[in-house]
Amino acid sequence: MRRDEEKLREYYAEAPEGVSLLDLDLERVPRHVSIIMDGNGRWATARGLDRSQGHVAGVDALREAVTTSVRLGVDVFSVYAFSTENWRRPQREVDLLMHLFATTLVNELPLFHQENVRLRFLGDLEALPERTRLVFQRGLDETADHTGMVFALAVNYGSRAEIARAARLLAREVAAGELDPGDIDESALSERLYTAGLPDPDLLIRTSGELRLSNYLLWQLAYTEFYVTDTLWPDFDRWEYLRAVIAYQGRSRRFGGVVRS
Ligand code: FPP
């Protein structure tokens, strides 16, 4: 991915103690970074605020994370915004999140244009409120020609449902005589996932200290490096992001073999 190193240095000019851009190896920036954004509710509760205000603060953190991804030269940046299980939250919170997704997307379109970011969605969008769906479609249409970073938002996403759907698609093709069962291999299945065409994540970050995958990208994370921080999502900033990437660069990725990548 192209990267403007001058902009990157400017972006990271005022370093807090303990983290420095100098520790970053620009040759080994992960191609695909994915984040499970967690802790909005706790962030708000700790401040005596309503959970909804935690989500609003989470939008600011997400905007910064998108910009950071672009500055670092990441090719694909994906985030888990709403799971198939999140419908179980109080209706008021679900409504607020759907509203936030739609308004955020409209508000951030100028940023996506300015940074040449192409949008993509992971998940079953059919079940979303009509306004949210229409806005998502507008986002897809307006950024379709962008050639920079892909920003993938997982909304109404569940990994098991995604894999079951891929199996269903394959079965239909076999039944229609379009596919030989012997041709069903890993790439045939990958091509029928919501992430078709995207590289698997190199780095998965989870905020708020939880050590769970929560039904996120189970297939795609097979060889991904995990980084968990206690920082709650609204407090996750460019420096936390940099710490995660530097930690990733310190790992030895062997993909099951013995050779250091
Ligand atoms: C987790 O906090 C976060 C979410 C449910 C995802 C929603 C993310 C945002 C609103 C950030 C902006 C995203 C977009 C796409 C505009 P939590 O409620 O699970 O926190 P808790 O575990 O502390 O309760």
Q: What is the residue with the minimal CA distance to atom 24 of ligand 1?
A: 41
Please answer whether residues 32 and 78 qualify as being in contact, where contact means their C-beta atoms are separated by less than 8 angstroms.
yes
The reported pLDDT for the residue numbered 257 is: 83
Catalytic residue among 50, 75, 86, 237: 86
Which tokens in the block code for residue 1? 């991915």
Distances in Å between the Cα of 103 and the Cα atoms of 107, 108, 142 are 6, 8, 15
* Predicted confidence (pLDDT) per residue in 22-55, tens digit: 999 999 999 999 999 999 999 999 999 999 999 9
pLDDT, mean of residues 116-139: 97
Q: If you measure from the C-alpha of residue 45 to the centroid of ligand 1, how many angstroms do you get, rounded to a whole number? A: 13
In which band, very low, low, confident or very high, does the pLDDT at 56 lie, cut at 50, 70 and 90?
Answer: very high
- What is the atom index within ligand 1 of the atom nearest the CA of 44? 23
The reported pLDDT for the residue numbered 110 is: 97
Question: pTM of the entire structure?
Answer: 0.96
Q: Residue 228 pLDDT more than 90?
A: yes
38 is catalytic: yes
The reported pLDDT for the residue numbered 260 is: 52
pLDDT, mean of residues 145-172: 98
Q: Tell me the DSSP string of the chain.
A: ----HHHHHHHT-SPPTT--GGG--GGG--SEEEEE---HHHHHHHTT--HHHHHHHHHHHHHHHHHHHHHHT-SEEEEEEEETTGGGS-HHHHHHHHHHHHHHHHHHHHHHHHTTPEEEEES-GGGS-HHHHHHHHHHHHHHTT--S-EEEEEEEE-HHHHHHHHHHHHHHHHHTTSS-GGG--HHHHHTTSTTTTSPPPSEEEE-TT----TTSSTTTTTTPEEEE-SS-GGG--HHHHHHHHHHHHTS---TTSSS--
215 is catalytic: no
The reported pLDDT for the residue numbered 2 is: 72
Buried/exposed code over 33-57 (b: 16+ C-beta within 10 A; e: otherwise) = bbbbbbbbbbbbeeeeeebbbbbbb
Which tokens in the block code for residue 90? 């109080």
- What is the atom index within ligand 1 of the atom nearest the CA of 59? 12
Please answer whether residues 118 and 151 qualify as being in contact, where contact means their C-beta atoms are separated by less than 8 angstroms.
yes
Q: If you measure from the C-alpha of residue 58 to the centroid of ligand 1, how many angstroms do you get, rounded to a whole number? A: 6
Q: Residue 171 pLDDT more than 70?
A: yes
* Predicted confidence (pLDDT) per residue in 174-189, tens digit: 999 999 999 999 999 9
**Average pLDDT in the chain:** 96
Q: If you measure from the C-alpha of residue 82 to the centroid of ligand 1, how many angstroms do you get, rounded to a whole number? A: 8
The reported pLDDT for the residue numbered 259 is: 63
Q: Residue 3 pLDDT more than 90?
A: no
* Ligand 1 binding pocket includes 41 (Cβ within 6 Å): yes
In which band, very low, low, confident or very high, does the pLDDT at 139 lie, cut at 50, 70 and 90?
Answer: very high
Q: Residue 94 pLDDT more than 60?
A: yes
β-pairing verdict for 203-206 and 150-157: unpaired
